[in-house]
Every structure is written in structure tokens, then in C-alpha cells.
Amino acid sequence: MAKVRGAIVVDIEKCKGCGVCVVACPASVIELSPNVNSKGYHYAEPVNHDACTGCTNCAVVCPDGVISVYRIKN
């Protein structure tokens, strides 16, 4: 059976670390990084890569439009 796999790319420098994407992700892919960007924000980053289905929820809800989503179907 075909499995959908996804991946996200966060524009780290433009992320304000609000965390809205973290709670929006149904697969708990995203966390706020312990590191900060040059503005001092703990930016969002995908940690649980394999669980990402590319559903776009994180990007859809991102107030700063910093998330790009990729998806493939095998």
C-alpha cells in the first residue's frame, strides 16, 4: 500500500518561535529548537521526521509563512 511521506523546511531566520505549528501538527513532528536564530527566537524545527505526512497543517497555520512542505507518495 502506498505510503505518504512528507518533509518540511523552516525558514529559520524568519521564524518567530510562536509554537502555533507545534500544536497544529497531528504527528508531533515539530518542536521549538533549544537554539535561537539571530533575533533570539527559539525557531521551529522538524525533529520527528519520519512521522511527517506532508499534511501542510503547520504551514497553513504559520503566521509568518516560514514553512515549506514537500510530499511524495510511494
Q: Is 29 in the site for another protein (CB under 8 A)?
A: no
Q: Which of 23, 35, 47, 48 binds another protein (CB under 8 A)?
A: 23
Please count the other Cβ atoms lying within 10 Å of the Cβ belonging to residue 22: 15
Q: Are 61 and 49 in contact (CB under 8 A)?
A: no
Q: Minimum distance from CB of 69 to another protein (Å)?
A: 4
Q: Minimum distance from CB of 22 to another protein (Å)?
A: 8
40 CB contacts (<8 Å, ≥6 apart)? none
Distance CA 25, CA 33 (A): 16
Residues that bind another protein (CB under 8 A): 2-3, 5-7, 9, 14, 16-20, 22-24, 41, 49-50, 54, 56-72, 74
